[in-house]
Chains A and B, each alone.
Chain A
Amino acid sequence: MSIPSRALAVLLLSALGACQPPPPRQLLDREGLQLQLRSLASAAAEAGLMTQQLADRRLSGGFAWVEQQGLGEDAARAAAELARPAGVELRPAQREAMQLAASLQLELNQVAAARHDGSALGALEARFGALRTQAQRLERAL
């Protein structure tokens, strides 16, 4: 095998290695917690935008089902990351973040079913706004 071929092979394997998720024994640190809170804030904000546009009849029902599923998966992924072992000082924030993730998933599951109900969509939009604010506050406090 020539040197350029070997170099390319090493680079490709390094890139593959860089794609791996963190091992399960890796502790959740402050940076990791902040990352997941930002992700939850983003998902909550996007959910709020979706409910607003649904209420304005800008989107289809099919879209609502697909988008709520996608955002729900984001919240579930964040919850799985948050469930890693954390230091004592981070546990209160970790607990609150996990409750936030669970609440977000619950509210997301209501969106598509409520797409014809203006007042229900309004209430969901307000709820998503509150979850987003909570996630941002928690992130800033860390």
Chain B
Amino acid sequence: MNGLLELTLGIMTALGGFVDISELVFCLAAGARFGYQLLWVVLVGTIGIAVYGEMSGRIAAVLGKPVFTVVRERLGWNVAAMVLLAATLVNVLTCAAEVGGLAIILQVLGASRYQWMLLAAAGFLLVSVYLLPFRWIERVFGLLGLPLLVYVVAAVAMDPDWGAAARGLLPSAPLPDTPGWALYLYFGVGLLSSILMPYEIYFYSSGGIEEGWTVKDLLVNKLTAGVGFLLGGVLAMALIVVGALAFKPLGIVPEHLTSTLLGAAGPLARAGFAVALVGIFFAVGGAAVETALAAAYNVTQFFELPWGKRKKPAEVPLFTACWMAAIVLGFAIAASGVNPVQIVEYSVFFAVLVLPLTYWPVLRLADDRQAMGKHANAGIIRALGWAYLVLICVVAAAAVPLMVLTHNGQG
């Protein structure tokens, strides 16, 4: 049990990054459109986020520096300011989508008016983040999001073709019965960028400092990043398999958060439906908390102001104001009536544009032997870091053309 509690930072980061509202729907849609063919993208993305997550956690433990401090130091004030603007936009938009998602879940639980449930969701988040210490935020949203593992059970219960699923772990051309290359690449880019969303490492590295990580915690960092992000990857793959088995044969392309519940209820009946509902509530809630705190971490770290949930709110007034503002703005955006799933699909593609400018400084510092000493990147980690940076740049270049070509993924 103690071991599991140690890993909750990684679990919460991964759940909030891998299975937030848009990823839940996007993975199901990827399976519904392309069967098992995009599983390899999740595998590639999972390795990438684990590598960069571990790097950012290592920098936090060895140097006590969170990611946005590194971004500012390495890129200079002007460029870092643009990254801050773009990252804050992504964080707030994603938070808005998650607040909308929570409201939808509350409606499913029996409440009628969406606007009131938005208020309830925002209130729940404000109170939770204000009252709970950081460690309890991780535990509540991390552990209570684990019921999402019901999708792994559902995927297995639906008796997939394991051979075909295994072949899906290797890149291949889209099959004749699928929508073709443009959409295949759109989904590939979308999956990869949503797995590599920068707020995950902003939150993870700042969380490591909140936890008081030092050089002694490097193994904890490795385990937390490894296990946490692996869990997220497995969940995303399970959702793709459920999409392939529950929706593809019927020609359904899911576009709603509620569609994900159909995927659990089919093979596992009312019990699956209920467990999935709990898991989705806390995973989506965790994503809202993660993005709100990431927004606050970024702003205060950029301006070198005091930050952290480990301090009393009065000691960190701007930090407190920032995460509260992110939730309130998120509520306001969601209350305007925009579809929450679409909000975050757009923000995923915006995030791709700032990914290289977030990951490049992390890689350069983690590689720097003068700064990191014996804890600098070596061997395979260095090679993977550079390989993923190139991949991220290619993905960033392809994102906007693919959005235009595919009419935002409609075909």
The answer to whether A and B interact is yes
A45 with B252: in contact, given A57-B270, A58-B269, A58-B273 (CB under 8 Å)? yes
**Docked-complex contact A70 and B258, CB < 8 angstroms:** yes
Binds B, one of A48-56, A84-92, A103-111, A114-122: A48-56
Q: Closest Cβ of chain A: how far from B114's Cβ, in Å?
A: 9
Q: Closest Cβ of chain A: how far from B333's Cβ, in Å?
A: 14
- State the CA gap A5–B86 with chains docked (Å): 11
**Docked-complex contact B270 and A63, CB < 8 angstroms:** no
Q: How large is the interface on B (under 10, 10 to 19, 20 to 34, 35 or more residues)?
A: 35 or more
The CB with the most chain A CB atoms within 10 A, among B262, B269, B403, B407, is that of B262
Q: Closest Cβ of chain A: how far from B316's Cβ, in Å?
A: 29
Q: Provide the B255-283 mask, 1 if CB < 8 A to any CB of A, else 0.
A: 11011011001100110110000000000
**Docked-complex contact A66 and B273, CB < 8 angstroms:** no
Binds A, one of B168-176, B228-236, B347-355, B387-395: B347-355
Does residue A39 face the partner (Cβ distance < 8 Å to B)? yes
**Docked-complex contact A8 and B357, CB < 8 angstroms:** yes
- State the CA gap A74–B79 with chains docked (Å): 40
Interface residues of B in 57-79 (CB under 8 A from A): 75-76, 78-79
A15 with B403: in contact, given A5-B82, A46-B259, A50-B262 (CB under 8 Å)? yes
- Contact partner of B353 (CB less than 8 A), chosen from A11, A19, A35, A41, is A11
Residues of chain A within 8 A of B400, CB atoms compared: 11, 14-15, 18
- Contact partner of A18 (CB less than 8 A), chosen from B107, B110, B404, is B404
SS class of chain A's interface: helix, strand, loop or mixed? helix
Does residue B16 face the partner (Cβ distance < 8 Å to A)? no
A42 with B252: in contact, given A62-B109, A65-B107 (CB under 8 Å)? yes
Does residue B127 face the partner (Cβ distance < 8 Å to A)? no
Residues of chain B within 8 A of A42, CB atoms compared: 251-253, 255
Residues of chain B within 8 A of A66, CB atoms compared: 104, 107-108, 258
Q: Closest Cβ of chain B: how far from A118's Cβ, in Å?
A: 16
- State the CA gap A19–B266 with chains docked (Å): 34
Residues of chain B within 8 A of A113, CB atoms compared: none
Q: Provide the B235-263 mask, 1 if CB < 8 A to any CB of A, else 0.
A: 00000000000110011111110110110
Does residue B336 face the partner (Cβ distance < 8 Å to A)? no
- State the CA gap A74–B252 with chains docked (Å): 13
- State the CA gap A61–B112 with chains docked (Å): 11
The CB with the most chain A CB atoms within 10 A, among B111, B256, B357, B404, is that of B256
Q: List 30 A-B contacts (CB under 8 A).
A: A2-B76, A2-B79, A4-B75, A5-B79, A8-B79, A8-B82, A8-B354, A11-B353, A14-B400, A15-B349, A15-B399, A18-B400, A41-B251, A45-B250, A45-B252, A46-B250, A49-B266, A53-B266, A57-B269, A57-B270, A58-B269, A58-B270, A59-B265, A60-B108, A60-B273, A62-B111, A63-B258, A65-B112, A66-B107, A71-B256
Point out residues on B near A: beta carbons under 8 Å. 75-76, 78-79, 81-83, 86, 104, 107-112, 246-247, 250-256, 258-259, 261-262, 265-266, 269-270, 272-273, 339, 346, 349-350, 353-354, 357, 399-400, 403-404, 407-408, 410-411
Please give me the 6 A-B residue pairs with the lowest Cβ-Cβ distance, nearest first. A58-B265, A70-B256, A67-B258, A45-B250, A62-B110, A62-B108
